[in-house]
Amino acid sequence: LKKHFDRVAELETQVENETTEGSTVQKETATAPSFRPEVFADFIYYFYNGNIETCTKDLIAFYSRLRSLPNYHSWAMDQLQKTRSMAADMLNSGIGDFFFTRIKVIAARYSERRKEIGDLIANPAAGLIKDKKKVVERMAQVGDVVHVLDQVVALILHDDSNRSHDYQPVWCQIRRLANSLPALPPLRVNKNDTDEKRRLIYLLRSCVGELIYQLTGQCSSKGFTDHYIYPKMPSLFLIDFKREEERVGDMLPLLNCFVALVLEVDERFARRRFNAGLLDFSDMEQLALCLVEKPEVKEYYQTLFQEIYVDEFQDTSGIQMAILNVLQQDNLFAVGDIKQSIYRFRYAKPELFMNLAATYQDAKSPHQYFELHQNFRSHPDILRGVNQVFSQLMHGGEGTEIRYGKEHAFEVSESADHESTGQPRLTVVLDELAETDQMEVIVTQKVLELLAAGHPPRDICVLMDRNDGVQSVKKALTGCGIPCQTKDSRFATNYYEQRLFIAAVDVLDNPLQDYPLLTVMTSDLPGCGFSENELALIKMLVEDCDLEMGTNDLARALTSYRYFWSDVLYIQFQGHLFEQKTYQRFASEEEVAQLVQHIHTFYETISHMRRRLDRETCCDVLTDLFVNSGFADGLLAQTEGVQRLARLKDMMSVVREYEQSLEPTVRGLANLFKLFAKQIALSGSDEFDVENRPNAVFVMTDHGSKGLEFPIIVMGDMKINSNPSRDRIKVSETYGVSANKYYNQAFGIKYEEDLLQTYVIKEEERLADFAERLRLFYVGMTRAEDELYLCFNAKNWDEQKETVVERLRELNCVKVTGTIDEFVGTSIPRLHEWEVVSLKNASQLAAAALYSAGEFDLAGIYSEAGGSQHTDVALVDLPVPIERQVTTGKNYWRIERYWSEAGPVFVEGPLSLRDRDGVSVWLESETAEGNDISLNNESKKEKTDLIPSHILDTEQTVKGADAATVDGLIRECLAKFNSLPSPPEATDPDTDTHSQVPLKLTVSELKRQSQIAAEDMLEIGGGSVAAVEGSNLYRNVNLTLDSIADLRQKNPEKLSGTALGTALHTCLEFLDLEILYATETDPLTVEKGIKRQIQMMVQGGQLKEENWQEVERFVPCLAAFATSDLARRAVRSAQRVQQNGQSANDLELSEPTQTFFGVFREIPFTLTIPAVDLYPDAKVEADERMLIQGIIDFWFDEEDRAVLVDFKSDFLLGSDDEVAAELERRYRLQLDAYGEAIRRATGHQKVEQWIWSVRRSKAYAIGGS
């Protein structure tokens, strides 16, 4: 993109002489588009508003799609040609086919109801008003409307345009009829209206109204469109196709530019891969196709392969099909289930499967076609229930693609393997307990009941729509003590030594992570080895002692953030203040003394290792921790010690490879392990093993469940009707290439509404996505062997039930008897395709299907004896008791509705278990192998055991315990501590004076060392606030404040501190001070100017749009800097350089002190200094030097000096003197390095060093000379 911008600049003068857009369109040909720099400039500004980042995303998306196709250069040209055809004649293109296909559906609906409409018009009981004189006039008016519509429908349904592909004649005839169409009279429904009148009004608002809307645009209110098949489709006969053709013509040069750019990306990227000797996955497919197309290669493989077998054929992509077509010689054997095609995001094309199946089914085809209808996985009742649902939902139209008829339905036969229990095996679980977006609550409740009924955890699998839902369920289950397993790559490692290694890296990076910290504390690493009882005692000591010491500011500071590391710090710095009375109920003096000493040792070990990381490599520190400490020797002595040691060495090799990066840090190493855990930490680990899976509840996405099976499936709700992609450029194999809104040069919208072509492509995307999501729902349901539970929000279900009842009323299948809807028809009509594709989620789909199939009584009477009942177990954060009501369906289903008299609640914090009386219960294994889990009442068992094994990371762990789990469940296993003594005396930490120094440092690491030094200055003995004021106890987490007492006054930012600081730095970097200074100094005027500049930064891509709202709050702070004395001095410096005609970019002058350089922003530098200046206590040679690199925010020069300004957005409280002292402590090393770099580069000996505090709108002098 940069190269093309350079070419635009060279040819800028030619832009004015560009031909008009009309002539440009006529010059376009079907050949490959050539790049034109002047069109590129228009392309970037018209389509992307100057935002290069968005353009890049669209380029990559289109490139990825192309690479999944054979002959993709020709394919791209074909799509452009389709767009050219639309610019010439849109009505008779694929767009016309799309609209006329839909208008025929609307006309067919009208035609089906035409006789009933005529009968009702002639029926006096259906009169639209009570006035007998006017009713005849109204009904005649309706008759006139129907008469015109009859002529329109006759033209539509008996039109032969499809064969001639010329819609213009019939379109013109219908337009003329539309001009003569009278208005529909007002339609009002009253309480005492007859059934005939209600029915007529419904038909006029639906069948008649939608035709009128398509003809004239009338009948567009919600009372009408709610009954339409296509409520959002534009009015076909009001579309100005000439205008649409002109708009597409306007876009064509820019679309050509886009395709040319994509093809150039392909060429450049291919050349780079070739030169580097690399292949990606698409290369393997493309090269395979190129090879097999060569005659000698094709002949070789056709001779070699007697038969070609393809499994999962429904997920075949275009290029894979092309390879098969070259190789196969009527010897292809393909197996697949089109209902399980769920990989459209990988460019799978289910239509390839359907086309091949249709070919094989042809009676004249020499091929054989087999239908497999038997399912050996699921209970017959589950298969019947699936047939019942999807026969209602899959119609074979554009929104469902598959007709679930005889060829797709399961053949159900009773099997001896499936015992009959007399209870329905398919259950709809309706949730009235929690808010709509808290699906994890009802899912966890159902899992608890299944466990209490005796089902082992490994038999249960929870399926959620998205990964964030998986994480929410995992957290809820873990909080209740239920072991669970996910496919999360972070916890995919199967071996303890691998998990411990990653946990140690996480703790060295940031100990405010409970899961890694507990893993390390319970390990055999030096200073560790905490028992689970000791961990429990830590929590109890901190909680109880904090109550007694509530007035201690230090205590409040250390316990403000409820991480386990904060508890460790509390005991480290406050342990000597523990009094006997605070812990005598649960611990002896000896136990507390031993724990405090153990904490001291552990804290010093971790602190020492973390300080070493500031001067040594990660590899050296981790080698000492795992190898030189003796841990590796102990590992070798254990069972399979050689293999375990080999895995540890593999982890070390990853660290050594990472150390080769430009600027390795422990934070980067921790992120590396998290991002690539599967590739770097799974040596020897197994894939998902169904037979030997652990005894845990499995939680995964619906996509992840494909190919698996479980005795019990619990499914959360899933979104079915999603929004189309946000790609600015839209591509369709049927409708060509189009774009969203089109901008003009002033950054205003030229075409405010979408192009007609874009609407059609978006609708095609929506329907294809709907069909795939419907198939995903099918995949999830068919994973169940014995029982299936669909967990839905009760509100969504009930609303859809009412919709079904209303539909049946409209179809005269239901009449109201008293307050109950009574079904009076012989059979319920099947749902229409258009009704199905309007539904939003799985709960609406299931409700529509089951009520339409007559499975449940429309009156909603609960047939279970006894009505509602209390649940046996409930979640602690929900009202107790929870009520459950059961409805048994007519065939295979039942409904379980959960609610509380207290109404829906928003669940905050972790979930845990209570019985019906509100007494805490917990889960335990009943056998040594842990095959079964049962509920035990806390009051019936003295819990003197350790913490349940699934909480901490041992070899028997179920991974995923979090802070909430530790905080809740550790507390519940305390019972055996009950004595008291006095604490041991605190000891000062040893001073670390390691002799090694790094060869290179960044300024960021200098800043970090300044903060680490504060930890070494902590006074342990006194325990006063002064001992820790200004120190950063929570390293790598920005919690350093001026005053501990003001800790809780900090307002949380919507952006993280780092993200906000970066956004503010960006604003200050691109802020044009000269323009602001040249206008007025009125604060309001300056603020308006700054807002305009920031908006241009967003439009230009320098600032992210989502950050604008947060940055806007700081506009007054930015204005304060723009009107400050420092800013005025900077502007004068820039103006002086301009007046002298000197270059502000040339720093290589023989006499730098005689030159004014002006103003510089974001200037990188490299500086060498004596190592002893930074490490005076280290044992280094006098001439040893270090390399320092950094970036200077802002500096300018005056006649006798340079002025350095560094911007900081730290949240600081206190007086100006206190803030200045804190800034001096934090950033003096950093600013001194900046100042020295400026001295050496410019020759200025005097450098002022300032920090501008953005939040306080004030400058602070820090050092300088």
List, for residues 642-664, the tens digit of each pLDDT value: 888 888 888 888 788 777 654 57
Asked if the model's pLDDT at residue 500 lies above 80, the reply is yes
Region of 1024 please: left (phi>0), alpha (psi -120 to 50) or beta.
Answer: beta
Asked if the model's pLDDT at residue 875 lies above 90, the reply is no
pLDDT recorded at residue 815: 55
Least confident of 239-248, 949-958, 1164-1173, 1182-1191: 949-958
Asked if residues 316 and 310 have their Cβ atoms less than 8 Å apart, the reply is: yes
Asked if the model's pLDDT at residue 321 lies above 90, the reply is yes
Asked if residues 577 and 1024 have their Cβ atoms less than 8 Å apart, the reply is: no
> What confidence category does residue 1106 fall into, taking pLDDT thresholds of 50, 70 and 90?
confident
List, for residues 893-951, the tens digit of each pLDDT value: 999 888 776 666 666 555 555 554 544 454 443 333 333 444 443 333 333 232 332 33
Q: CA–CA separation, 410 vs 272, rounded Å?
A: 52
Q: CA–CA separation, 283 vs 889, rounded Å?
A: 54
Q: CA–CA separation, 536 vs 972, rounded Å?
A: 9
pLDDT recorded at residue 1057: 61
Asked if residues 629 and 529 have their Cβ atoms less than 8 Å apart, the reply is: no
Q: CA–CA separation, 681 vs 398, rounded Å?
A: 45
Query: In whole angstroms, what separates CA 435 from the centre of its chain?
Result: 21
Asked if the model's pLDDT at residue 1225 lies above 90, the reply is no
List, for residues 1116-1148, the tens digit of each pLDDT value: 888 888 888 888 888 888 887 776 655 444 444
List, for residues 555-593, the tens digit of each pLDDT value: 444 444 467 888 888 888 877 777 766 676 677 888 888
- Give the position of tokens 């009412």: 802
Q: CA–CA separation, 530 vs 595, rounded Å?
A: 9
pLDDT recorded at residue 462: 94
- In whole angstroms, how large is the CA radius of gyration of the chain? 37
Q: CA–CA separation, 1245 vs 1265, rounded Å?
A: 8
pLDDT recorded at residue 1028: 31
What's 16's DSSP letter? G
Asked if the model's pLDDT at residue 278 lies above 90, the reply is no
Q: CA–CA separation, 738 vs 752, rounded Å?
A: 15
Nearest to 386 by CA among 715, 768, 707: 715
- Containing H/E element for 431? strand 426-431
List, for residues 174-210, the tens digit of each pLDDT value: 999 999 999 888 888 887 888 888 888 888 998 999 9
Least confident of 30-44, 90-104, 724-738, 1206-1220: 30-44
pLDDT recorded at residue 25: 35
List, for residues 589-604, the tens digit of each pLDDT value: 888 888 889 999 999 9
> What confidence category does residue 533 fall into, taking pLDDT thresholds of 50, 70 and 90?
confident
pLDDT recorded at residue 19: 39
Q: CA–CA separation, 66 vs 72, rounded Å?
A: 5
> What confidence category does residue 1249 fall into, taking pLDDT thresholds of 50, 70 and 90?
very high
pLDDT recorded at residue 964: 45
Asked if residues 873 and 828 have their Cβ atoms less than 8 Å apart, the reply is: no
Q: Which domains does the chain have, with CATH numbers?
A: 94-239 (no CATH), 279-361 (3.40.50.300), 488-687 (1.10.486.10), 1124-1264 (3.90.320.10)
> Taking the model in full, what pTM does it have?
0.61
pLDDT recorded at residue 485: 81
Q: What is the mean pLDDT of residues 234-258?
A: 87
pLDDT recorded at residue 747: 42
Report H helices in 1142-1215.
Answer: 1171-1174
> What confidence category does residue 256 fall into, taking pLDDT thresholds of 50, 70 and 90?
confident
Nearest to 72 by CA among 285, 319, 333: 319
Of all residues in the chain, the percent with pLDDT exceeding 90 is 15
Asked if the model's pLDDT at residue 297 lies above 90, the reply is yes
Residue 103 token pair: 């208008």
- Give the position of tokens 């499809």: 162
Asked if the model's pLDDT at residue 790 lies above 90, the reply is yes
pLDDT recorded at residue 970: 39
Count of beta carbons in the 10 Å neighbourhood of residue 925 = 16
Query: In whole angstroms, what separates CA 530 from the centre of its chain?
Result: 37
> What confidence category does residue 461 fall into, taking pLDDT thresholds of 50, 70 and 90?
very high
Q: CA–CA separation, 891 vs 893, rounded Å?
A: 6
pLDDT recorded at residue 293: 93
Of all residues in the chain, the percent with pLDDT exceeding 70 is 70
β-strands 893-899, 426-431: how paired?
parallel
Asked if the model's pLDDT at residue 671 lies above 90, the reply is no
Asked if residues 395 and 839 have their Cβ atoms less than 8 Å apart, the reply is: no
> What confidence category does residue 999 fall into, taking pLDDT thresholds of 50, 70 and 90?
low
Asked if the model's pLDDT at residue 698 lies above 70, the reply is yes
Residue 253 CB partners (closer than 8 Å, separation 6+): 21, 24, 25, 28, 36, 39, 42
**Which amino acid would we find at residue 450?**
L
Q: CA–CA separation, 1262 vs 1225, rounded Å?
A: 10
Nearest to 828 by CA among 845, 812, 847, 846: 812
**Arithmetic mean of pLDDT over the chain:** 75
Asked if residues 784 and 710 have their Cβ atoms less than 8 Å apart, the reply is: yes
pLDDT recorded at residue 319: 94
Peptide bond into 526 cis (omega under 30): no
- Containing H/E element for 730? strand 729-732
List, for residues 830-856, the tens digit of each pLDDT value: 777 878 888 888 888 888 888 888 888
